[in-house]
């Protein structure tokens, strides 16, 4: 069974100042995405689909795709504002912000013919987590069964600002009950806390709280679910926030759970996330990668 890794890389990288997907994290010039791809190849993924903006392809292929294509099948998909935009919806004047992670994943649908995993380009997610989601694809993925790697909140935060995470409510059998996207989470007392009113009030997220890092496993039919819900989501949210509303990937599994159309098995991990959300994060990522290379988890040159 062929498995595909979908990497969402079309984001503007505004908080980092642009170009963080192609910022080296070691002295060999390798990137965070190289380590994700190396872990994916080692886990058994056969193909990678990079979701990018059309104008990025030449530079992206030169920086990343060219050195991977000798090891995995490489495809490109393009996220543009008009792709899959429903004919019965009115495009908001002046909108330039991409439609979000669910739309980014949907833009890869023409390249999907089997179970697939979705990740962000600028996240290091950990070897064990990638291996676990690949096993799920082979053993469990079905039209009514999705998988998600659950991270502990304290392993996913930066000390330099806020982050967005999907906060999970998991039942006693390890299945997702609900997921809520919180867009302003910061570290606090060993765990985290989030605000929805610009810092006037906070809600605590204790150590061990499970969150999503957008490491999902899906049956190929999930693309149909993303597309069929895009129009209704637009009609509900465009009137409220036409310039900035985002169609987040976790929203679709949430709908399926609520409607009784499917379940999400949450696969817990102790892996630590590393990413460059802010420019000051970069040195910490470099130090972590260097430590893993010293321990022999990764070779000095991944693709030799």
Split into its structural domains, the chain has a count of: 1
Please write the tens of the pLDDT for every residue from 13-24.
Answer: 555 556 665 689
Please indicate, yes or no, if residue 118 is contained in any of the structural domains.
Answer: yes
pLDDT band at 56; cut points 50, 70, 90: confident
SS3 166: strand
Report pLDDT digits (tens) over 28-51. 999 999 999 999 999 999 999 999
How far is 5 from 48, CA to CA, in rounded Å?
5
Chain centroid to CA 131: how far?
16
Residue 37 within any structural domain of the chain? yes
Q: What is the pLDDT of residues 188-223, one digit of tens each?
A: 999 999 999 999 999 999 999 999 999 999 999 999
Bridge partners (DSSP) listed for residue 187: 192
Tokens of 38: 């190396």
pTM: 0.92
Q: What is the pLDDT of residue 12?
A: 42
Q: Does residue 299 lie in a domain region?
A: no
pLDDT band for 60, please (50, 70, 90 cuts).
confident
CATH number at residue 22: 3.90.550.10
301 part of a folded domain? no
Residue 125, both tokens: 């997610």
Question: 166 lies in which domain range?
Answer: 4-294
Q: What percent of the chain has pLDDT over 90?
A: 86
In a domain, 300, yes or no: no
The verdict on residue 47 lying in a domain is yes
Domain for residue 304, yes or no? no
Please state, in angstroms and rounded to a whole number, the distance separating the CA atoms of residues 101 and 249: 5
Report pLDDT digits (tens) over 263-303.
Answer: 999 999 999 999 988 889 999 999 999 999 999 999 999 99
Residue 302 lies in a domain: no
């Amino acid at each position: 069974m062929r498995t595909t890794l979908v990497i969402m890389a079309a984001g503007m990288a505004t908080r980092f100042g642009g170009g963080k997907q192609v910022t080296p994290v070691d002295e060999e010039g390798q990137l965070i995405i190289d380590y994700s791809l190396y872990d994916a190849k080692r886990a058994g993924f056969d193909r990678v689909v990079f979701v990018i903006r059309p104008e990025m392809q030449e530079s992206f292929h030169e920086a990343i795709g060219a050195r991977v294509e000798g090891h995995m099948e490489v495809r490109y998909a393009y996220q543009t504002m008009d792709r899959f935009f429903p004919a019965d919806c009115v495009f908001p004047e002046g909108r330039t912000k991409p439609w979000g992670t669910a739309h980014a994943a949907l833009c890869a649908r023409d390249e999907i013919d089997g179970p697939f995993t979705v990740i962000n380009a600028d996240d290091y997610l950990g070897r064990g987590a990638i291996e676990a989601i690949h096993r799920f694809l082979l053993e469990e993925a079905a039209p009514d069964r999705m998988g998600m790697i659950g991270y502990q909140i304290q392993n996913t935060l930066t000390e330099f600002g806020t982050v967005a995470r999907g906060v999970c409510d998991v039942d006693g059998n390890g299945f997702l009950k609900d997921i809520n996207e919180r867009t302003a989470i910061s570290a606090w007392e060993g765990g985290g806390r989030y605000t929805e009113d610009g810092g006037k009030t906070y809600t605590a997220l204790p150590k061990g709280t499970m969150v999503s890092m957008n490491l999902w496993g899906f049956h190929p039919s999930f693309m149909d679910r993303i597309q069929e819900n895009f129009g209704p989501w637009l009609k509900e949210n465009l009137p409220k926030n036409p310039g900035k509303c985002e169609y987040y990937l976790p929203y679709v599994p949430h709908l399926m759970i609520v409607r009784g159309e499917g379940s999400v098995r949450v696969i817990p991990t102790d892996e630590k996330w590393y990413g460059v959300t802010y420019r000051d994060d970069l040195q910490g990522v470099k130090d972590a990668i260097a430590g893993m290379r010293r321990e022999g988890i990764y070779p000095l040159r991944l693709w030799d």
